[in-house]
Amino acid sequence: MNRALNFLPVIVAAMLLQCTPKEKITKNDVRGAEKLMGVEFSDGEIDTMLSYLDENRNGYDSMRRIRLTYGTPPAVYFDPRPDHFTFKERNPVSDWKLPKMVSLPSSEDEIAYLSVADLGVLIKSGALTSARLTGIYLDRLKKYGDTLHAVITITETLALKQAVQADEEIAKGKYRGPLHGIPYGIKDLFSVPGYKTTWGAEPYKEQVLEEKAFVVQLMEDAGAVLVAKLTSGALARGDVWFGGKTRNPWDLKQGASGSSAGSASATSAGLVAFAIGTETLGSILAPSTRCGVTGLRPTFGSVSRDGAMTLSWSMDKVGPICRSAQDCALVFSALKGTDESINDDRSVVNYPFAFNPPTDLKRYKIGYFKKLFDKDTTKTKPNNMASLEKLKSLGADLQEVALPDTVPYAVFDIILRSEAGAFFDELVRDHKDRMMSEQNKESRANSLRQARFISAVEYLQANRHRKVLIEKFNKMIRGYDFIVAPSNGRNISLATNLTGHPAIVVPNGLDVKGHPTSITFIGNLYDEGPLLEAAYILQQATDFDEKHPEMFLAKRK
């Protein structure tokens, strides 16, 4: 099958779905539907199609009588690779740049803000136990979780058990690696046996799924300790969930932005050492920017989504949210995995990954969206211009590139909405979407309802245009190791989420209101190494990744 057509077909009957099974579809029904579709047929043409439309509707009814499980994917799979794709070969040996020695701070608040790299060294050496570290984060989750509205469930029983196990294993010489004994949180779209998986929405707030998400298993294999299930915006939209609005630790009057809000907020406030989030259209990058942390959105298919809620089969991605690029590299390395005996996500592609940063940026070929930086807003422009100058001082030779043009960006959101409408078909037909607290124009409930009126023809046409975008974007980026972009650049998030390219946001200062800003690096497919290495080099030369929100700052004597 041609990869360009490997998308979920969504069958929508537009206004025809409003008819009850006992009513025959009439010419007036079709006339109303024509307005939604932007098409027009003659009376004779409509007469010939009425019986077919009745048959179609009967077919829809027959489908709906057979319930599908949440884990059932469509029989087709999205592949982001362009025609004649070749993987960029890199140095296969990782140098994690782990410190040789780390001093244990006297303050528990300071310990909470140490990097994963530093914490790993302390735990491996025996200077710090996982049990103590887990207790520190559990205390902070209890103290600040309600303030930030960032926590769904504190998994204390599981965390303490895993921490004791980690300490016992390390004492016996069974060291699993840099994440061994490190406490983390996960977005509450992932299933964990024995705990609720609420998807952030009222209809599911008591839901318990007795399966273990594949990435949760990978974290267990790495020896990490799960301390909390963190908030997701309702059904992976925004920062509002059934318990309120997740807050930005830098400004409690402000929401934490995209749906991985709890993961970004908790990481920023030092409630976890790192967190795992998901992104479909900005939900790792946006909250990471808002909360002043480093978020990696890997290539589509780099990390399994098995055991996670689906929003879009062809756009969902899983990635780490950390306080540094080095930590993101460590976590991403552990998240990659394709054990087919337990992983049911067939989109996963196992390309090699290594992290081996040089001393400067001279060896990289780097593009940047000059016109987008020039058009940047006054709020973020000073920090972005300073970041470009810092990159140049580190050896970067920035070459101007541009986003593909003659692309219908305005239509592409129907891909996400159509696929979400299919996954939540039963929710809408049972009108349980009415249980959700947000019911405005921008709400997920409204998005799911209007998805019923997107035709399968337009969905597939949008995916054909997506194929053109994939080819154009890959042709543009192929000559570079990565591209530098403003984090608020027009159409960047939409384009790269459609094409499946990896991206990382790197904190680069505060705006005039004291809110964090960031800059974005975009890489080639399945080639996260250069992004993480460049971000590491930049963070070694700056201190923005070491700044924390005042209310949650480590106390220093």
- pLDDT(237) > 80: yes
Classified as helix, coil or strand, 322 is: strand
The per-residue pLDDT for range 281-303, each reduced to its tens digit, is: 999 999 999 999 999 999 999 99
- Residue 147: the pLDDT is 97
- Mean pLDDT, rounded, for 39-56: 91
- pLDDT(230) > 50: yes
Q: Distance (Å, rounded) from C-alpha 379 to C-alpha 388?
A: 16
Is 155 within 8 Å of 228 (Cβ atoms)? yes
- pLDDT(490) > 50: yes
- Determine how many CB atoms are found less than 10 A away from the CB of residue 52: 10
**Which stretch of DSSP H or E encloses residue 331?**
helix 325-335
- pLDDT(5) > 50: no
- Residue 343: the pLDDT is 85
- Residue 18: the pLDDT is 46
- Mean pLDDT, rounded, for 444-454: 94
The per-residue pLDDT for range 126-138, each reduced to its tens digit, is: 999 999 999 999 9
Is 343 within 8 Å of 304 (Cβ atoms)? yes
- Residue 339: the pLDDT is 79
- pLDDT(11) > 60: no
User: The pTM is what?
Assistant: 0.93
Distance from CA of residue 2 to its chain's centroid? 27
- pLDDT(326) > 50: yes
Q: Identify the band that residue 22 occupies on the pLDDT scale cut at 50, 70 and 90.
A: low
Sequence-distant contacts of 37-44: CB under 8 A, at least 24 apart: 37/455, 37/458
Is 339 within 8 Å of 518 (Cβ atoms)? no
Distance from CA of residue 196 to its chain's centroid? 21
Domains, the chain, ordered by start? 108-406+465-552 (3.90.1300.10)
**Of 174 and 16, more confident:** 174
- Residue 281: the pLDDT is 96
Which class for 50: exposed (0-12), middle (13-18), buried (19 or more C-beta within 10 A)? middle
Location of structure tokens 């749906």: 259
**Of 230 and 6, more confident:** 230
- pLDDT(538) > 90: yes
- Residue 411: the pLDDT is 94
Token digits of residue 72:
């059932």
DSSP 448-507: HHHGGGS-HHHHHHHHHHHHHHHHHHHHHHTTSSEEEEETT-TTHHHHHHHHT--EEEEE
Q: Identify the band that residue 554 occupies on the pLDDT scale cut at 50, 70 and 90.
A: low
Residue type, 49: M
The per-residue pLDDT for range 373-416, each reduced to its tens digit, is: 998 877 899 999 999 999 999 999 999 999 999 999 999 999 99
- Residue among 187, 209, 191 at smallest CA distance from 200: 187
- Residue 530: the pLDDT is 98
- pLDDT(500) > 90: yes
- pLDDT(499) > 70: yes
Average model confidence (pLDDT) across the chain: 93
Residue 169 CB-half CA count within 13 A: 20
